[in-house]
Structure 1
Amino acid sequence: MLQRKSQKRVLIALLILLPVLWGGVAVATEQDDTVRTATRVLDKIMEIPESAIPPSLLSNAYGIAIIPEVIKGAFIIGGRYGEGVLLVRNSAGGWSNPSFLSIGGGSLGWQIGGQSTDVILVFKSPASIENIKRGKFTLGADAAVAAGPVGRRVEGATDVMLQAEILSYSRSRGFFAGVSLEGSVLNILWEDNGSYYGQPNVTVDDIFAGRVAAPESAMALRNSLANYAP
């Protein structure tokens, strides 16, 4: 009798915990999908050198944000939202594991409503990354942002491009180009970081410094990025 009661209690406990455990797996899977999609976006953009981010620019970059499928919305009247990943150079000169972040606000003025867009931001120095880690960060207000050059070389870059702290790109309907993203707001997604790395209190510094174990999808993204920007 006692054994049956014990078994019943264990079963009840499992039934109570199952939704919690399943919810955690679902969220982690969602973030894993985001990382894998970001890898595919990067590979797709860089596969045609004549229309890709110049390799020399990427090689000298301090950080990169890859935000796939910025949400379809009424871009004509403003407003968009997307979630992606942010990576930086680590102390060894390689690329860190990804932190999750979101982009929102502003508008892609030339874009037609209802079309999703992949966005890439290239950061030239640590200053903007440090500000993003502290809280809400607005492109154009907290740091100068400009549409980035494409192709094998950066000789065609304008003075505005060269002076900007952040260079921005977008890809829609297979077309990739530099695009202005002034007014867009970047935020770290703390809960997504916790779910992906399995540590609710993980910090961005922990992630960038490699102090937490990362899923296989993070290594795949890092390897892909290192291939284009050693």
Structure 2
Amino acid sequence: MMKKELLLALVCIGATLPAVAQNKIDDRLGTSAEVLRQFLARPDGIPKHLFNKSACVLVFPSVKKVGIGLGVTYGRGVIACRSGADFSGPWSAPAMYKLDVGSLGVQLGSSSTDYVLVVETNVGASKILSGKLKLGADATAVAGPTGAKAVGANDPNVDVLTYSRAKGGLFAGASLASASMDTDDDANKAVYGKDVTASQIVRDGAVTITPSGKALDGVLNKASPKRDM
């Protein structure tokens, strides 16, 4: 009897795990949409004229930083790009992405930070979508300007502008020069029901936007329905 009950419990757990994972991914999409909306809505957030020039945007909500001394920052988020060969078309369906930052310095306890990365160049967008990439080495990235500092800011040599907001803190440009990013293939499969890469999702239009991705799509199209080339 005990063996039967244990077997039944294991079966129930096995059936529940995929649903739990799916809920987490749906939450990631919803939270990413809200984080981006807030970054775009505030006067000290992402300047509209810079976002209008973007080819792609990556959102990593609630990135955790843990460790003492040598810390590790990790997070999972999404990427969406404008479609077309020159990234000038409508926004794509979102693809799942991972962020990993090794940081030095004294870090006690843990913290949570929202990050938004605005990809300004087609070259930078193509590099990010090609697979694992390290900012600063494979693509140039600088802390994004806000407020008065953003006036006239348009350096064609910068691929990515990075922004952050600490939990309960202010919006600010963020230095992520040591960050590495890569596609989250397991999450993409969970969302779209098949093995599909971020490039296939974003560039090839291999999937349609799911109900859980519509909130992010709505934020993007309201903020910047057409790219300023």
Which TM bucket (shorter chain)? 0.7 to 0.9
Shift, 1:96, TM fit? 0.8
In the alignment, the residues of structure 1 paired with residue 136 and residue 181 of structure 2 have an alpha-carbon distance, to the nearest angstrom, of: 11
Flag the 1:110–1:16 CA change in 2: closer, same or farther, 3 A: closer
Shift, 1:103, TM fit? 0.9
- 1:196 aligned residue: 191
Deviations 1:27-57 (A, max 9, x none): 2211111000001111222222x20111111
Shift, 1:174, TM fit? 3.0
- 1:4 aligned residue: none
SS of equivalent to 1:72: strand
- 2:217 aligned residue: 222
State which drifts further: 203-212 or 30-39.
203-212
Instruction: Structure 1: state its 5+ residue gaps.
Output: 1-13
Flag the 1:224–1:182 CA change in 2: closer, same or farther, 3 A: same
SS of equivalent to 1:51: coil
Give the count of matched residue pairs: 213
SS of equivalent to 2:103: coil
Amino acid at match of 2:183: I
Matched, 1:40 2:72: no
SS of equivalent to 1:181: coil
Shift, 1:94, TM fit? 1.6
Amino acid at match of 1:166: V
Flag the 1:111–1:150 CA change in 2: closer, same or farther, 3 A: farther
The TM-score with structure 2 as length reference comes to: 0.82
Kept in 1, the 8 Å contact 2:93–2:201? The answer is yes
- 2:113 aligned residue: 117
- 1:93 aligned residue: 89
- 1:212 aligned residue: 207
Matched, 1:81 2:74: yes
Shift, 1:81, TM fit? 0.3
Tell me which stretches of 4 or more aligned residues in structure 1 moved more than 4 Å.
14-21, 108-113
- 2:60 aligned residue: 67
The TM-score with structure 1 as length reference comes to: 0.82
- 1:179 aligned residue: 174
- 1:154 aligned residue: 150
Deviations 1:158-211 (A, max 9, x none): x8x553111101001231000111111101100100001111x12223321332
More strand as a share of residues: 2
- Report 1:110-149 matches (<5 A): 113-149=109-145
The match for 2:157 among 163, 186, 203 is 163
Kept in 1, the 8 Å contact 2:96–2:198? The answer is no
Kept in 2, the 8 Å contact 1:52–1:152? The answer is no
**Percent identical:** 33
Kept in 2, the 8 Å contact 1:65–1:84? The answer is yes
CA RMSD across the alignment: 2.7
More helix as a share of residues: 1
Kept in 1, the 8 Å contact 2:102–2:179? The answer is yes
In the alignment, the residues of structure 1 paired with residue 129 and residue 11 of structure 2 have an alpha-carbon distance, to the nearest angstrom, of: 33
